[in-house]
Structure 1
Amino acid sequence: MDFLMSNVFLRIDILLLVFVRFLGFFATSPIFGGRNAPTYAKIGFSFIVSTIVLSTMPTMTVTYEDTILGYVLLVLKELTVGAIFGFLVYIILTIFYLAGQLIDYQIGFSMISVLDPLSNIQVPITGNLYYFMVLTILLVTNGHHKIIQALFYSYQVLPIGQAVFNSELLGHYIVILSDIFIISIKVASPIIGAILILDFALGILARTAPQMNMFVIGLPLKLILGLACLVVVMPLFTMIYNYVSKELFEKLFFIIKGMIP
Structure 2
Amino acid sequence: MNLEAAQITAWLGQFLWPLVRVGAMMLVAPVFSNAAVPMRIRVLLGVALTVAVMPAAGGAPALDPLSAAAVVLAAQQVIIGAAMGLLVAMAFQTVVVAGESISLTMGLGFATMVDPQSGVPVPVLSQFLLVILTLLFLAFGGHLVLIQLVAESFRLLPLDAGGLAAEDFHTVVAFASTMFSGAVLLALPAMAALLMINMIIGVMTRVAPQMNIFSVGFPITMLSGFVILLTLVLPSMPQRMSAIWRQAFDTIRQILGA
Scaled by the length of structure 1, the TM-score of the pair is 0.84
The letter of the residue matching 2:141 is N
Cα contact 2:10–2:61 (8 A) shared by 1: no
Equivalent residues in 2 for 1:101-120, closer than 5 Å:
101-120=100-119
The letter of the residue matching 1:77 is Q
| Residues 66, 132 of structure 1: alpha-carbon distance in 2 compared, 3 angstrom cutoff | closer
- Provide the secondary structure at the position in 1 that maps to 2:118: coil
- What stretches of structure 2 of length at least 5 have no aligned partner? 1-8
**1:17 counterpart residue number:** 17
Alpha-carbon offset, residue 218 of structure 1? 2.2
The letter of the residue matching 2:74 is V
Alpha-carbon offset, residue 215 of structure 1? 4.6
**1:128 counterpart residue number:** 127
| Residues 155, 165 of structure 1: alpha-carbon distance in 2 compared, 3 angstrom cutoff | closer
**1:222 counterpart residue number:** 221
CA distance in 1: counterparts of 2:212 and 2:255, whole angstroms: 53
| Residues 67, 28 of structure 1: alpha-carbon distance in 2 compared, 3 angstrom cutoff | closer
| Residues 161, 41 of structure 1: alpha-carbon distance in 2 compared, 3 angstrom cutoff | farther
Say whether 1:54 aligns with 2:59.
Answer: no
CA distance in 2: counterparts of 1:182 and 1:236, whole angstroms: 15
Cα contact 1:77–1:161 (8 A) shared by 2: no
- What stretches of structure 1 of length at least 5 have no aligned partner? 1-8
**2:28 counterpart residue number:** 28
Say whether 1:40 aligns with 2:67.
Answer: no
Task: Write the deviation string for residues 37-71 of structure 1: whole angstroms up to 9, x where unpaired.
Answer: 3333333222222222222454x454768972211
For these two proteins, the number of residue pairs brought into alignment is 250
RMSD over aligned Cα atoms = 2.7
**1:5 counterpart residue number:** none
Cα contact 1:191–1:226 (8 A) shared by 2: yes
**1:155 counterpart residue number:** 154
CA distance in 1: counterparts of 2:66 and 2:121, whole angstroms: 45
| Residues 37, 131 of structure 1: alpha-carbon distance in 2 compared, 3 angstrom cutoff | same
Q: Which runs of 4+ in 1 moved over 4 A?
A: 63-67
| Residues 35, 227 of structure 1: alpha-carbon distance in 2 compared, 3 angstrom cutoff | same
Cα contact 1:138–1:144 (8 A) shared by 2: yes
Scaled by the length of structure 2, the TM-score of the pair is 0.85
CA distance in 1: counterparts of 2:89 and 2:57, whole angstroms: 28
